[in-house]
Amino acid sequence: MILFQLTANTGPAECCLAVRHALHALVKEANQRGVTVEVLEEQAGPVPETYGSILLGLLSGDANLAAHTLAQRWSGTLQWICDSPYRPGHKRKNWFIGGALHEPPAPLPDSEIRYDTMHASGPGGQHVNKTASAVRATHVATGVSVRVQSQRSQLANRQLAARLLAGKLQTLAARHVEAAKAQRRLQHGQTERGNARRTFVGQRFIEAQRGEGR
């Protein structure tokens, strides 16, 4: 299975709508190429039936060659040129989203994961597996979890859940790094001027005494 994500990043509602449109177009192309698309995780956008991001599993019967080709075709920055359907008269007409092929991260040791099984739920009628095959994988140290029910067997859901959990932890770690950088930039930008606790002067960086240089 190939993991592929469509995301609006930090874009507005129009970008989240663009993700939905891209999803529909991708599924249509997948059907033409004989690729099965499964929704593994989704983050809702601010408007119903839109997505901030959506993680897909792409599967094809040729050792996933067709799935990989499809993912590559949709990878990168995707532009949508359209008047805003939410803000009439808005000047912006260009909306950008991203598509990304996710390489599987290194698997987590089973000793770090707690697995819970449950019955699959949701729409699907007879297509929903009635046995206790759905799996929730929880990272013991952090409490981060994912739930998978898309596969037919408990073992397959367990394996996929472990992959998704590793990817989710990797993403959260990257976000923490970016958040720390953003906080440092914010602190730098908010440095109060004219109220320095210490003052240094000249090329030799000599500290001025209180009252000097003011």
pLDDT (tens digit per residue) in 43-100? 899 999 999 989 898 999 998 899 999 999 999 899 999 999 999 999 998 899 999 8
- Same domain for 169 and 83: no
| Residue 181 or 124, more confident | 181
Any idea what the CATH number is for the domain that residue 153 is in? 3.30.160.20
| Residue 176 or 169, more confident | 169
Q: What's residue 128's pLDDT?
A: 44
What is the number of structural domains in the chain? 2
Per-residue pLDDT at 101 exceeds 70: yes
Rounded to whole angstroms, what are the CA distances from 171 to 10, 144, 164, 165?
15, 12, 10, 10
Distance of CA 184 to the CA centre of its chain: 23
Q: What's residue 33's pLDDT?
A: 95
Return the ∠ at Cα 34 (arms to 52 and 124), rounded to 5°: 60
Looking at this protein, which amino acid is placed at residue 102? H
Does the residue 209 lie in any domain? no
Sort strands 113-118 and 134-139 into parallel, antiparallel or unpaired: antiparallel
- Same domain for 90 and 30: yes
- Same domain for 69 and 121: no
Does the residue 204 lie in any domain? no
Cβ burial of 47 (10 Å; 0-12, 13-18, 19+) is: middle
Per-residue pLDDT at 123 exceeds 60: no
- Same domain for 113 and 78: no
Average confidence score pLDDT of the chain: 80
- Please state whether the predicted TM-score (pTM) of the whole model is above 0.85: no
Cβ burial of 120 (10 Å; 0-12, 13-18, 19+) is: buried
Starting at the earlier edge strand, list the strands of the sheet with 113-118: 113-118, 134-139, 145-148
Q: What would the mean pLDDT of 175-193 be, rounded to a whole number? A: 54
Any idea what the CATH number is for the domain that residue 91 is in? 3.30.70.1660
- Same domain for 140 and 74: no
Cβ burial of 146 (10 Å; 0-12, 13-18, 19+) is: buried
| Residue 124 or 162, more confident | 162
Does the residue 199 lie in any domain? no
Last residue in a domain, options 103, 138, 158: 103
Q: What's residue 187's pLDDT?
A: 47
Does the residue 83 lie in any domain? yes
| Residue 54 or 202, more confident | 54
Q: What's residue 23's pLDDT?
A: 94
Question: What is the extent of the structural domain holding 54?
Answer: 1-103
* Residue listed under structure tokens 């320095």: 196
What are the percentages of helix, strand and coil residues in the chain, rounded to 5? 35, 30, 40
Q: What would the mean pLDDT of 113-119 be, rounded to a whole number? A: 87
Q: What would the mean pLDDT of 4-15 be, rounded to a whole number? A: 91
- Same domain for 140 and 64: no
- Same domain for 48 and 22: yes
Does the residue 11 lie in any domain? yes
- Same domain for 12 and 94: yes
Last residue in a domain, options 62, 82, 103: 103
Per-residue pLDDT at 110 exceeds 50: yes
Last residue in a domain, options 55, 80, 103: 103
- Same domain for 95 and 8: yes
- Same domain for 117 and 65: no
Residue 95 CA to residue 82 CA, distance in Å, equals 8
**pLDDT-based confidence at residue 28 (cuts at 50, 70, 90):** very high
- Same domain for 155 and 93: no
Q: pLDDT digit string (tens) for 156-170?
A: 888 888 888 887 887
Q: CB of 191 within 8 A of CB of 184?
A: no
Let me know how long the chain is. 214
- Same domain for 114 and 52: no
Pull the structure tokens for residue 29: 């192309």
**pLDDT-based confidence at residue 189 (cuts at 50, 70, 90):** very low
Does the residue 66 lie in any domain? yes
